[in-house]
Amino acid sequence: MRLIQLVIAEKPSVARAIAQVLGASEKRDGYLEGRGSPVATSKCQGHLEAPTEPTGETGWLVSWCIGHLVELAPTDAYDPKYSKWNYADLPIVPSEWQYRVLPDTKKQFDILDGLMKDSRVESIVCATDAGREGELIFRLVYHLCGCTKPVKRLWISSMEETAIRKGFDHLLDSANYDNLYAAALCRAKADWLVGINGTRLFSTLYKGSTLNVGRVQTPTLTLLMEREAAITSFKKEKFYTVELKLDGLTAVSGRIKSKTEAEKLRRACLGTSVTVTGVEQTERTERPPKLYDLTTLQREANRLFGYTAQQTLDYLQSLYEKRLATYPRTDSRYLTDDMAGGLPALCQAVARVLPCMEGLTLLVNAAQVVDSAQVTDHHAVIPTAEIAVADLAPLPTGERNILAMIAARLLCAVGESHTYAETAVTLECGGGSFTAGGRMEMALGWKEAERAYLASLKKVPKGAPPALPDLTEGQILEGGDAALKAGATSPPARFSEDTLLLAMERASAEDFAALESVERKGLGTPATRAGVIEKLVRSGYAARDGRHLVPTEKGLALAWAMPDQFKSAKLTAEWEERLGAVERGELAPEDFMAGIVEMLRELVRSYANVSVASSALSRSGRTVVGKCPRCGKDVVEGKKSFFCEGYYDTPPCDFALWKNNRFFTSKRKELTRKIAAALLRDGRAPVTGLFSERKGVFYDATVVMADDGGKYVRFELEFDKKKGAK
């Protein structure tokens, strides 16, 4: 029998790209199959060798996970009593962890289960995304299927054919990644424990709507709260300056609090000669920018295009799956040393496909962007060589913009330094001191590529001060006009996604600085920060005001109510240090989890017998129409649906009665609050004036709710046999 290897990717698009390289072109239900390719017979280090059969062929089955197929089980899987929220049950700590297959993806799980148990399959290749989360996705499926077949690991940062082939030529035994999986599972369990117990603790304490608590979400909300408090408490202070208009330059005084004093200086300067008291000229060098990691790309895309962090991640993920960009979820801004040789050709290809770079002086200094010591799981985000041959015209605007951004950044990063001469002049007039500054460019360097790119967006970069005339110390200048200018101090600016991402990245920097072994710093990871921001908005703790993010009344109240240990990024710093130790095999996973459990026990104890006054946290602000048939929480009325307040839980309750449900709209009937309340109370509601599209008549019937726990609630009709159609 021919050896068959099963390859499991994270997403269908990635699986198709891998299957194409492996020659697995026959479509099946939930996977692809084929007899193999040159990759299949390679015997490089770590590769699974084919058996000695007459044909010498290797068969491939390539399937996928569709993201998470398996998750940690909800609380009521351990005990039905947990479906109700009670302080007395806290903390909830499973003695033996349970898992469940997600209902929406059970079909694909069953397909993988069957493939793993297929007697023809002798070994498996884990090809999920190369990182903690990808490792967790595969291992949970592998273990829940009860599979014991040998596993090799594919670890790549690009979906290009050459990268895939190279990855298959250097497969390593899955055991090399056991500690990575252990750290990923610890992180998932710890987040489950904090989310479940923290959320239930404060929700029962305030007896209002669900109050989501999270290790990353709560300190991020605290950043918004602290900024809002600084804005609210800010007191504007007026000031005045005097501006001298001289031949070839403009000089400005320092800030003066008194308008009278400023006016006095202005009058003293009118028609008065000006003495140059100092001239300092300095040659400066501005090195090229580093390549993008995910966070810096998200920040700049927000500045240039107004994209949210999640939008940028989605666009980049799509480009990755189309083989046009490298792996998106990276925190590195360098390339590995072995990539230096291919950079000149890649830069030439990039310059050819960007119309704005026509005529650019292209110099490729590869040493500026390669440093294997600076690369953790994945190198920086760059375009792939596919950009030279792909048809970019059909790309959606968002993807095209992001691809152009990373392409332009590559050309900037390998360019020459930008050099200029900066001049600072001090002058004396009317008894006051004035300053003026100027700049003269000496070599454009990488700025040439940056300006060409910004010009293509019709964006003008912030201009530098113009060059000053030649001046010498002691020189006397003829007096000119003097003008009084009024100004005022400004409050701190509200966060945009750009500045919030930066704040998350730098949060609790002093705590991380003390932990030399920590690789991932700040709140969350590049892969999770966008999701955290979106959850704050979706949960009603923050809102978007144009490009700004502001905390809501509910968000402010929650941030103030949280204990200090949840507000600070210090908790994340401590977790990352210990998770890093788990990854390196220096800390047992059970020891990490013991610390988390003890922290939660102490937290719950500290709130025993505590009562709180009514606040924004004690009211949901929505009309309650009934109880959820799935979890027992309140069902409230929203703009588009009647939904369970457990929607914001972790994991969420997805129960909802949608107002635009096809069942009602096809019958020309509105799903009103009254009907929804009857359905939730009795499971049925008598409705008059239903329309039959087939017969063109109106009739009365009883609508029966048939909820099977799926994504959408179904409805059926019951008729009174004594009544006919109207």
Residue 326, Cβ neighbours under 10 Å: how many?
Answer: 25
Cα–Cα distances in angstroms (integers) from residue 134 to residues 127, 140, 150, 311, 384, in the given order: 8, 10, 18, 21, 22
Q: Helices (DSSP H) in 607-722: which residue ranges?
A: 662-665, 673-682
Q: What dihedral do alpha carbons 507, 510, 515, 521 form, nearest 10°?
A: 20
| Element of type H or E holding 19 | helix 12-22
Percentage helix, strand, coil for the chain under 3-state DSSP, each rounded to 5: 40, 20, 40
| Cα(76)–Cα(114) distance, integer angstroms | 28
Which of 288, 286, 291, 287 has its CA nearest to residue 409? 291
**Cβ contact 607:565 at 8 Å:** no
* Given 177, 292, 315, 327, the catalytic residue: 327
3-class SS at 568?
coil
| Cα(709)–Cα(653) distance, integer angstroms | 10
**Cβ contact 425:251 at 8 Å:** yes
Residue 689 φ/ψ region, left for φ over 0, alpha for ψ in the -120 to 50 degree band, beta for the rest:
left
Cβ burial, residue 589 (10 Å; 0-12/13-18/19+): middle
- Tokens, residue 647: 């929607």
Residue 5, Cβ neighbours under 10 Å: how many?
Answer: 24
**Cβ contact 145:117 at 8 Å:** yes
| Cα(623)–Cα(340) distance, integer angstroms | 61
Which of 221, 200, 222 has its CA nearest to residue 211? 200
Which of 324, 344, 319, 334 has its CA nearest to residue 379? 334
Q: Would residue 327 show up in a list of annotated catalytic residues for this protein?
A: yes
| Cα(169)–Cα(42) distance, integer angstroms | 6
86 Cβ contact list (under 8 Å, min separation 6): 204
Cα–Cα distances in angstroms (integers) from residue 646 to residues 83, 191, 215, 628, 632, in the given order: 11, 18, 19, 9, 9
| Cα(644)–Cα(445) distance, integer angstroms | 58
Residue 719, Cβ neighbours under 10 Å: how many?
Answer: 12
3-class SS at 277?
strand
**Cβ contact 75:92 at 8 Å:** yes
**Cβ contact 428:275 at 8 Å:** yes
Residue 498, Cβ neighbours under 10 Å: how many?
Answer: 20
Cβ burial, residue 694 (10 Å; 0-12/13-18/19+): exposed
3-class SS at 562?
coil
Q: Give yes or no for a cis peptide into 91 (omega within 30° of 0).
A: yes
Q: Give yes or no for a cis peptide into 651 (omega within 30° of 0).
A: yes
| Cα(500)–Cα(291) distance, integer angstroms | 20
Active site residues: 327
